[in-house]
């Protein structure tokens, strides 16, 4: 299989630089490449493995971890066929062991199950993995360079995991027209005649290999002045860095940069480059109380001090669905979330859910027995230990029972009617305070007459940042469409007892052509009852404090649906 040469990749200099520094010192800690689809992240990572081997030796291993990888395949286990034939326990190397001395590449690492990602990153940091499973006890060397890629649009990486990567590089598609022409020319030449293309770039690839080998030989002779060490420590303290992982990565990166240019001492420029590479993905969380993007500075005071007009009063007090007015209402900056401000717990008391809990537990237990992932090696091991022989009865199935994480699925109504009722700003603050209690957050936004996902499977920090970027409330309210989309997403995600669903809306939909208020109310009521029926925990509806007609409309909409209803600020 031919790999596109590293030297032939156009642009992406910062990502190339990060990988070259890891080739000089593999102990730096791994590179995380962030970028949208089709920006050559995978192409660059695959070409990088060619630079690690000595020119006279075989290429270094390049091991790719698929998203559906099992724990047995990743960590290693026993050779099943050998055990069946001979009854002898013989180890089967996992992907971590096979990657020793090369590159372990994980595409879309943010979609990898958290348990596997933790195991993988621990072995990358310690460069050794202790295998204790299926009757095996082995110590496996795992000295590989970890390269992960992800598309931030498809969900964030947990902060605990992103912190384990030494470098974080944003790969941007900002090529000039001439660069795009050259990218197309080179790619087509490689696809049409790969051997000829590799031969054409063999000289540039060999030069890079020689440069890396010379830097490796120079690495341990590079000195770091005490003044620069003190400067990094002070900057890390000012930045509020936790632990020493980031500072050690900066020091190793700066030393590798000095070795790569043939110097014997680390310079200020080396440290600045190392700081940018190592801190870019760690300091990405915006500071608190930052004004929302696109919201003028002066809009905050004006929107807070302006008296409510007739349009605001009518939107908040109307007993029937209203057409949204076209002009947007600017929002004030979010308050810094300190405590959970919802007035009642999201999950009802235990005595109210005992019957439902028993039904859910039985349903989940049956589901696991019928469709849980099969652990083949564990099943084989247990069967052999139970006296099973090929062709004879007595096979034992072992299935995994995953430990689900706490997920929040939320619908946020950012139509103009919610902004006119001064509800959206308050709901946004309360939602921002509540997301901190979950591991994964998905926010569905209804704004400008459209329903779209603001974030999906994101971390609480990213959810807070996304909420701050909503500058105004505007547009119509396709509430029925939004509720249906929310229900589909929750069911597709495999709801568990740890999930929570929160709907933040004033409940006033925009009517479809020819639809009456009673028909809209009935359709949404049926949909809400279906959500309660199919989800382990009943959703919670957060609504504004409004006039009597609005409360009457919401009471009619939610009565008998099983939805728990609370009012903002109560």
User: What residues are annotated to the active site?
Assistant: 245
Number of other CB atoms surrounding residue 258 within 10 Å: 26
Beta bridge partners of 155: none
Instruction: Say how far apart CA 277 and CA 228 lie, in whole Å.
Output: 17
How many residues in the chain? 570
Q: What is the CA radius of gyration of the chain?
A: 28
What span, in angstroms and rounded, lies between the C-alpha atoms of 215 and 7? Answer: 18
**Cβ(334)–Cβ(428) below 8 Å:** yes
Closest by CA to 486, choosing from 544, 567, 406, 412, is 412
Structure tokens at 345: 């717990």
Q: Give CA separation, 299 vs 8, 304, 337, 501, in Å.
A: 50, 8, 22, 32
Q: Evaluate whether 506 touches 567 at the Cβ level (below 8 Å).
A: no
Report the DSSP beta bridge partners of residue 565: 541
> Is residue 168 a contact partner of residue 18, using CB atoms and an 8 Å limit?
no
Angle between helices 310-317 and 548-558 (to 10 degrees): 30
Terminal-residue alpha carbon distance, the chain: 65
CA pair distance 486, 195, nearest whole angstrom: 50
- 3-state helix/strand/coil string of 341-358: CCCCCCCCCHHHHHHHHH
* 192: its two tokens: 């049409």
Closest CA to 413 of 333, 479, 332, 463: 479
As separate numbers, helices (DSSP H) first and strands (DSSP E) second, the chain gives 23, 17
Picking from 466, 465, 467, 461, the residue whose alpha carbon sits closest to that of residue 438 is 461
β-strands 440-447, 450-458: how paired?
Answer: antiparallel
Task: Say how many CA atoms lie within 13 Å of 169 toward its Cβ.
Answer: 25
Burial class from Cβ neighbours inside 10 Å (0-12, 13-18, 19+) for residue 494 reads exposed
Unique residue bearing structure tokens 């902004």: 419
Query: Which backbone phi and psi does 98 adopt, to 5 degrees?
Result: -65, -25
- Alpha carbon distance 418, 507 (integer Å): 9
């Amino acid at each position: 299989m031919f790999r596109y040469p590293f030297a032939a990749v156009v642009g992406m200099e910062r990502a190339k630089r990060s990988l070259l520094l890891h080739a000089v010192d593999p102990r730096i800690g791994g590179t995380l490449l962030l970028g949208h689809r089709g920006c050559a992240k995978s192409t660059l990572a695959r070409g990088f493995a060619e630079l690690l081997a000595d020119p006279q030796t075989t290429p270094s291993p390049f091991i790719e971890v698929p998203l559906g990888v099992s724990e047995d395949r990743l960590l290693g286990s026993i050779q099943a066929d050998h055990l069946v034939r001979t009854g002898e326990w013989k180890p089967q190397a996992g992907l971590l062991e096979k990657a020793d001395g090369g590159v372990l590449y994980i595409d879309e690492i943010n979609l990898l199950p958290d348990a596997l990602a933790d195991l993988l990153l621990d072995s990358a940091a310690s460069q050794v993995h202790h295998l204790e499973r299926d009757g095996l006890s082995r110590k496996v060397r795992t000295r590989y360079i970890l390269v992960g890629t992800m598309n931030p649009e498809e969900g964030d990486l947990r902060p605990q995991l992103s912190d384990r990567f030494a470098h974080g590089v944003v790969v941007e598609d900002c090529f000039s027209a001439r660069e795009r022409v050259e990218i197309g020319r080179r790619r087509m030449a490689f696809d049409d005649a790969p051997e000829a293309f590799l031969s054409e770039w063999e000289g540039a690839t060999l030069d890079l290999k020689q440069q890396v080998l010379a830097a490796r030989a120079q690495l341990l002779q590079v000195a770091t002045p005490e003044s620069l060490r003190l400067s990094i420590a002070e900057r890390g303290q000012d930045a509020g860095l936790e632990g020493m992982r980031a500072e050690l990565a900066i020091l190793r990166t700066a030393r590798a940069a000095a070795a790569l240019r043939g110097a014997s001492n680390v310079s200020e420029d080396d440290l600045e480059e190392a700081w940018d590479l190592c801190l870019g993905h760690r300091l990405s969380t915006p500071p608190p109380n930052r004004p929302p993007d696109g919201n003028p500075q002066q809009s905050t005071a004006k929107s807070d001090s302006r008296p409510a007009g007739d349009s605001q009063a009518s939107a908040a007090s109307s007993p029937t669905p209203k057409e949204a007015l076209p002009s947007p209402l600017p929002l004030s900056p979010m308050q810094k979330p300190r405590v959970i401000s919802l007035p009642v717990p999201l999950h009802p008391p235990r005595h109210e859910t005992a019957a439902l809990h028993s039904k859910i537990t039985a349903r989940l237990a049956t589901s696991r027995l019928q469709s849980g992932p099969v652990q083949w090696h564990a099943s084989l091991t247990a069967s052999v230990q139970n006296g099973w022989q090929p062709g004879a009865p007595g096979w034992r199935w072992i299935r995994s029972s995953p430990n689900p994480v706490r997920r929040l699925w939320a619908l946020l109504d950012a139509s103009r009617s919610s902004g006119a009722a001064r509800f959206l700003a308050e709901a946004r603050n309360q939602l921002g305070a509540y997301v901190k209690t979950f591991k994964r957050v998905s926010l569905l936004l209804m704004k400008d007459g459209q329903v779209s996902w603001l974030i999906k499977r994101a971390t609480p920090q990213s959810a807070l940042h996304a909420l701050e970027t909503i500058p105004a409330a505007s547009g119509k309210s396709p509430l029925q469409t939004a509720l249906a989309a929310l229900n589909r997403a929750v069911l597709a995600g495999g709801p568990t007892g740890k999930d929570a669903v929160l709907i933040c809306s004033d409940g006033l939909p925009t009517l479809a052509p020819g639809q009456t208020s009673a028909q809209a109310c009935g359709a949404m009521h049926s949909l809400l009852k279906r959500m309660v029926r199919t989800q382990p925990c009943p959703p919670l509806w957060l609504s504004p404090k409004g006039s009597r007609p609005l409360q009457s409309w919401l009471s009619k909409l939610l009565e008998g649906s099983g939805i728990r209803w609370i009012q903002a600020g109560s």
